[in-house]
Amino acid sequence: MENLEYWVKKVTEEFYEIVYADEWLKHVFTIDQKIITSQQIDFMVDALGGERRYGGKSPADAHPHIFVTEEMWNRRESLLNDAMTKVGAPADLRSKWLKIDLAFKKHIVMKDESECRKRFFSDEIIVVYNPAKKVA
C-alpha cells in the first residue's frame, strides 16, 4: 500500500488522542500515551505488510491482565472508526485494519473478570466498568 507509514501514523496518533480523552477507556490505558502510540504504529505497519520491525508481544498475549468485555471492544472499534474518519483514511486501509483487529478478538475479549491473568509478578489487573452505566 502506498504511504502506509504515513496513514498508520496519522490514524494511530488520532486514535489514542481520542482514547485518552474517552471517559471510559482513559481509565484502562494506564500506559504512557507516547509509548503505546509508537508500539501500535510499529505493530500495524508490520501487520499491514510494511517494514518488519515490531518486536513486542502479540496482541493475543498483550492483554491477559485487562478485563476487555464485548462492550469495551465495541467502544474501542467505534473510536477507531472515528479516528479513521477524522483523518480521512483510505477505504482499503480501513478494511484491512479492522480485519486484523478482528482476528485477535477471540483472544482478547473475556466474559468474566476471573479470566484475567497478570503478565508478570508486579502487574496490575485492570477492571474498569463503563462509568456511563449506573449500577442499581
Contact residues for ligand HEM, defined by CB under 6 A:
28-29, 31, 36, 39, 43, 56-57, 59, 62-63, 66, 68, 72-73, 76, 100-101, 104, 108
Cell for 126?
485492570
CB 113 within 8 A of CB 127: yes
Torsion, Cα 117 81 131 125, to 10 degrees, reads 10
114: DSSP letter: G
Least Å from the CB of residue 135 to ligand HEM: 20
When the beta carbons of 62 and 116 are compared against ligand HEM, the nearer one is: 62
Cα–Cα dist 7/14, whole Å: 11
Residue type, 71: E
Least Å from the CB of residue 77 to ligand HEM: 8
**Beta carbons within 10 angstroms of residue 129's beta carbon:** 13
When the beta carbons of 17 and 104 are compared against ligand HEM, the nearer one is: 104
Least Å from the CB of residue 136 to ligand HEM: 25
When the beta carbons of 99 and 136 are compared against ligand HEM, the nearer one is: 99
When the beta carbons of 10 and 28 are compared against ligand HEM, the nearer one is: 28
